[in-house]
Structure 1
Amino acid sequence: MSELLENPDFFLLDQELSAEEIALRDRVRAYGQEHVLPAINAFWERGEHPLPAFKGLADLGVVGTFIEGYGCPGLSRQAAGLVAREMGRIDGSVNTFFGVHSNLCMGSIYMLGNEEQRQRWLPTMAKIETTGAFALTEPTHGSDSVSLETSARRDGDHWVLNGHKRWIGNGHAADVIVLYARDEADGQVKCFVVEKQEDGEYPQGYLPTVIDGKIGKRAINQADIVIEDLRIPEENRLENCHSFKDVNKVLKATRGGASWEAVGHGMAAFEIAANYALEREQFGMPIASYQLVQERLATMLSDLTSMQLLCTRMAQLQERDQLTDAMASMVKMTTSRKALAMCRTARDMLGGNGLLLEYHIGRHLTDMEVVSTYEGTDSMQALIVGREITRISSFTRTRS
C-alpha cells in the first residue's frame, strides 16, 4: 500500500507539524483504530452510544482541547483540529460526543464560569468521570439561536427555568448540562448548569427524551428536552455569562471543529474508495485501472487537499486572532460541500457494497449529512459569506 493511501497528504502539510503534533495525530488515530473502528458499526446500527469504545479516551491527553489547567492539555488550534480530523476519519458520532463534552460544555464552564465553578466541574470532566452536554438549540430556534425562548426567573437563591431544547447531544445521559436561557428580568441570555442528583436522576422539571429515527450520527443520541419549572441554584449559574455575546465567545472559541471533522470524513472516503478500486476486479481488471475511476480518485484527492489547506490556514489565523466570521463560514461551507461530495462518490464507486456498514462509507456519508447541517447549515454559511461580499444582509425580510 502506498503512503498516500495510508495518509492522504498530497501537499505534505503534515511535514509542517511539530513532533508533539505528529505524536498526537498518531495517538488519536491508533486509539480510533483499536477501540472505535472494530465496534462502531454495531452500535451505529442499533442507534446506541458506544460507551465501551471510550476506554482509553481520557488517557489520550486531548480532553478539554484548548483549555489550560484543570487536567486539560491547552492544545493549539492546529492540534485541536488534528484531534477532530482523526476522530472524524474513524467515526462522526464519537467525534460529536467528544466535541460536545470537551469543547462546548467544558468550554462554556471554562470561559463563562468563575474559578470555583471551574474547579468544581472541569477536573472530573477532563478524566471523563463525568460527561457533559450543551443545551442551546430549541425546536424553533436553530440557525437563529440568538432568539432562544427558554426562560429563567430569579426566585430567591434559585432560578426557575421553563422552555424546550432539542437536538442536544448526550442531553439524556450527561452528568453536567450547560443550559442557556433568557432572564425574564433583563431579557439577556444567561447560562446554567444542570447536574444529575446523587441517585443518578435529573432534578424535577428536566425531562429528556431520545430522538429516534435518525439516518446519521446514529451512535450519538440527541435529546428533546422539556423544561418545566426546573429549579437551579444560583451557585449553578455561570457567573460570567451576561448576554448572547458571551455565548458567542464560546462558539467562536470552538469554531472550526466541524470543518476539521469534514476533512476527516473526506480522508476516510478517499482511503476507502482508493483501496477498494485497487482490490475490486471487473472485466478481468482492477477497477482502478479504468480511466473513469482514476479521474474520480484524482478529483477526490484534489478536493481533499484544498480542504486540508483551508483548515490549516484557518488554524493559523485563529492563533493570531485574525479569523473572521465570514472566513470561518467559507471554510465550513467549502469543507462540508467537498467532503459530502467525496463520500457520495466513494459510495457510488463501491456499488452495492457501499450500502453495507462493513465497508464503512455509508456511515461516513450519512454522518457528513449531519456535519453539513450543524454549526450552521450550508445555506447559512453562504449567506454570511454573501453578506461579506455585498455588505447587504439577506437574513431577515419584513413580512408582507
Structure 2
Amino acid sequence: MSLEPLASDFYGYESMLTDQEKTALAAIRTYLENEVKPVVNGHWEKATFPHEIVKGLADLDVYRFGWDETKPFDNSAVFRGFVALELGRIDASVATHVGVQNGLAMGAISVTGSDEQRAEWLPRMAAGEIVGAFGLTEPTSGSDSAQGLKTTATRDGDEWVLNGEKRWIGHATFSDITVIWAKDTADNQVKGFIVPTDTAGYRATKIENKQSLRIVQNADITLTDVRIPESLRLQNANSFRDTAKVLRLTRAEVAWAAVGNSIGAYEAALRYTKERVQFGKPIASHQLIQDLLVKSIGNITASLGMVVRVSQMLDQGIQRDEHSALAKAYATARMRETVAWCREALGGNGIVLDYDVARHFADAEALYSYEGTREMNTLIVGRALTGFAAFV
C-alpha cells in the first residue's frame, strides 16, 4: 500500500520515513479514514467511546509501535509521531486514547516495570486485550504533581494499601488496569502501582458535561484501602523522577497530535471553502479566506518542523525535557490559533459537527492543557535558558 503525500505536509516531512514506515502509515491512514472518521461525530455528540476500534487499531500494531513487548522503540520516533499526527488529524479523542494506552499506561510499565511485569502486561495491552489507564492527576494536584500528590501508599507486609483520589483519568471508566501513582508513607517518594480495576475499594465515576474530547471517558477515581501485592508495584518507580521519564516520552507525541488536530481542521476548512459559493464564486477565491488558510498552513508547517526535530533528537538519545516542553507549548498554542482561523473560514457552519471543524476547535482546548499546560512547559524551557527555576 503506497502512502499518498498529505497536501497539508507542505514541506514534505513524510518523505523522511523509510519505505516500511510509509507502508505501515498508509494502512493506518486508510483504516482511520474508512472506519474511524465516519463514526467519531456521532460518538462525540453522545460522549461515548467507540470500543469497536480497539481491535482494529491493535490489528494495525498501533499500540505496539511504541512498546514492542519488552523492548521500546523498534520504530523511529518520527514514525511514531506521524502515527500520532494521523490519529489527531481524524480525531483528537482517538489520538488521546492511543496516547493513554500506548504512551502512558504501557509506557509506565515499560519504563518503570520489571522484566517480568513487562513480559506479563505489555503483549496483552499491545493486542488490545487489556486497556490501561494512567492515574496521576488529582482533584487538588495537577501541575504540582511532583510535590502535591495526596494519594498514599502504605506497605503492609507483602501488600500495599492505597488511599486517595484521582481526577481526569482517561479510560478509567472501562480500563482493566490503572497505573496509580502514590506517595509512600515511609519515605514520601512517589511510587507506581498496577491496579486491576476490579480490586475492592477502587471506584471510577465518569466526568460528565465535558465540552472537549467528549469521546474520551475521563473519570474521577476513589481509592479506599485498595490492597495491591508487592508484585504489582512498578519495581523501577522509586520517585517522581521515574514518573517524569514516562511523561518526557509522551509529551512530544501530544505535540504531534496537536499538529494533527490542526491539520484536521485545516483540511476540513480547505475542502469547505472550495465548495462553498458566495457572490457567485467559491469563497476560497477570496483574498481574506486565502489569508486564513495561508496563516493556518504556516502554523502547521512551523509546528511540524519542530516536532520532527524533537523526535529525531529522541531517536538520537539527546532529547531533554526542555525540548519536548517547547514543542508541546508551541504546537498547542499554534493549534489554538489555527483551529480558530479554520472555524472563522466556515462562518456559521463552523460551529456544526457535520463539517468537522467544530470538533477540532473544541478538542484543541484539552490538548492545550493536558500533558503540561503552556505555562508549566514554558517554565521548564525558561529554567533551561536562564538556570533559574521560576515555578513558584
TM-score, normalising length from structure 2?
Answer: 0.95
Equivalent residue number for residue 81 of structure 1: 81
**How far off is 1:62 after superposition?**
2.3
Aligned residue runs from structure 1 range 74-113, under 5 A: 74-113=74-113
TM-score, normalising length from structure 1?
Answer: 0.93
Equivalent residue number for residue 326 of structure 1: 322
For residues 25-78 of structure 1, what are the alpha-carbon distances to aligned partners after superposition, in whole Å with 9 as ceiling and x for unaligned?
Answer: 212211111111111111111111111233411111221332233598732211
For residues 261-282 of structure 1, what are the alpha-carbon distances to aligned partners after superposition, in whole Å with 9 as ceiling and x for unaligned?
Answer: 0110111122111111111111
| 1:109 alignment partner AA | I
Equivalent residue number for residue 346 of structure 2: 350
CA contact (8 A) 2:202 2:222 kept: yes
| CA–CA separation in structure 1 for the residues paired with 2:234 and 2:55 | 30
For residues 138-158 of structure 1, what are the alpha-carbon distances to aligned partners after superposition, in whole Å with 9 as ceiling and x for unaligned?
Answer: 111111111211101111111
CA contact (8 A) 2:67 2:122 kept: no
For residues 314-333 of structure 1, what are the alpha-carbon distances to aligned partners after superposition, in whole Å with 9 as ceiling and x for unaligned?
Answer: 11111112222222221111
The SS at the match of 1:372 is helix
Aligned residue runs from structure 1 range 210-359, under 5 A: 210-359=206-355
Aligned residue runs from structure 1 range 106-255, under 5 A: 106-147=106-147, 148-196=149-197, 202-255=198-251
**How far off is 1:221 after superposition?**
0.7
For residues 326-365 of structure 1, what are the alpha-carbon distances to aligned partners after superposition, in whole Å with 9 as ceiling and x for unaligned?
Answer: 2222111111011111111111111111111111111111
| CA–CA separation in structure 1 for the residues paired with 2:283 and 2:339 | 18
**How far off is 1:87 after superposition?**
0.2
| CA–CA separation in structure 1 for the residues paired with 2:290 and 2:347 | 16
| 1:271 alignment partner AA | E
**How far off is 1:229 after superposition?**
0.8
The SS at the match of 2:52 is helix
**How far off is 1:4 after superposition?**
10
Cα RMSD for the two superposed structures: 1.8
Equivalent residue number for residue 199 of structure 1: none
| 1:69 alignment partner AA | E
The SS at the match of 1:217 is coil
| Number of equivalent positions | 389
**How far off is 1:192 after superposition?**
0.7
Q: Label 1:129 to 1:4 Cα distance change in 2 as closer, same or farther (>3 A).
A: closer
State the identity %: 42
| 2:95 alignment partner AA | N
Please say if 1:38 is aligned against 2:38. yes
Displaced runs of 4+ in structure 1, greater than 6 A? none
| CA–CA separation in structure 1 for the residues paired with 2:37 and 2:379 | 37
Please say if 1:10 is aligned against 2:6. no
For residues 61-111 of structure 1, what are the alpha-carbon distances to aligned partners after superposition, in whole Å with 9 as ceiling and x for unaligned?
Answer: 221332233598732211110110000000011111111111111111112
